[in-house]
């Protein structure tokens, strides 16, 4: 009798481990988690009028005098056109399979992406605007924020800084 109980518990434990592995380690599991944690409506970011949330799960990069909110980091100028800067940025985004382009506004030279964290698939929204400063000079503004929670343990900051470093900033 005890042996049957032990065998039954062991089987249930292996089934549970298998389900957890499917949930966290497969594409099917990723789709399930993405449905559990949807993106929701993506608000249009107007950098000059942006008001930051009272939470720490966001990171703002902005050139001097563009944003009304105080940026976490001031963007530098790049010695390329805004169109070339956008192409360089997209090349970096294309290297990360966790990033998907959501919205592209060519009129504003602004892109919105979703980044999904490994395993749990929590969505973070990243808005990037490319700003022409002349025919061969440009800069950018980036607002990265988590959809869920109040603290991201610095994940948005680390991710944006990694991308800026890859662009030479």
Are residues 92 and 30 located together in one domain of the fold? no
pLDDT given at position 150: 92
Are residues 23 and 46 located together in one domain of the fold? no
Are residues 74 and 152 located together in one domain of the fold? yes
pLDDT given at position 35: 76
Cβ-proximal residues to 65 (8 Å cutoff; 6+ apart), any chain:
none
- Residues of the chain short of pLDDT 50, as ranges, are none
Q: Residue holding tokens 């948005």? A: 156
For 26-43, what is each residue's pLDDT tens digit?
A: 565 556 766 787 777 888
Are residues 66 and 142 located together in one domain of the fold? yes
- At residue 72's C-alpha, the angle toward residues 151 and 158, to 5°, is 55
Are residues 23 and 92 located together in one domain of the fold? no
Domain residues for the domain of 7 are 1-36
pTM, 2 dp: 0.82
Are residues 17 and 88 located together in one domain of the fold? no
Are residues 60 and 129 located together in one domain of the fold? yes
Are residues 55 and 94 located together in one domain of the fold? yes
pLDDT given at position 19: 64
Are residues 154 and 132 located together in one domain of the fold? yes
Tally the domains of the chain. 2
pLDDT given at position 78: 96
Are residues 55 and 138 located together in one domain of the fold? yes
pLDDT given at position 23: 57
Are residues 54 and 137 located together in one domain of the fold? yes
pLDDT given at position 110: 95
- At residue 110's C-alpha, the angle toward residues 134 and 56, to 5°, is 115
For 40-49, what is each residue's pLDDT tens digit?
A: 788 889 999 9
Cβ-proximal residues to 149 (8 Å cutoff; 6+ apart), any chain:
55, 57, 122
């Amino acid at each position: 009798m005890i042996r049957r109980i032990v065998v039954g518990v062991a089987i249930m434990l292996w089934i549970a481990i298998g389900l957890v592995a499917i949930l966290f380690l497969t594409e099917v599991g990723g789709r399930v988690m993405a449905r559990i944690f949807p993106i929701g409506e993506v608000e249009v970011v107007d950098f000059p009028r942006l008001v930051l949330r009272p939470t720490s799960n966001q990171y703002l990069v902005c050139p001097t005098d563009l944003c009304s909110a105080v940026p976490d980091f001031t963007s530098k100028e790049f010695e390329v056109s805004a169109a070339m800067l956008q192409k360089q940025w997209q090349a970096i985004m294309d290297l990360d399979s966790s990033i998907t382009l959501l919205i592209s506004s060519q009129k504003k030279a602004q892109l919105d992406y979703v980044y999904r964290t490994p395993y749990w698939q929590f969505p973070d929204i990243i808005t990037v605007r490319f700003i022409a400063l002349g025919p061969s000079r440009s800069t950018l503004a980036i607002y990265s924020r988590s959809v869920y929670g109040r603290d991201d343990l610095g994940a948005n900051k680390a991710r944006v800084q990694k991308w800026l470093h890859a662009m030479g900033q």
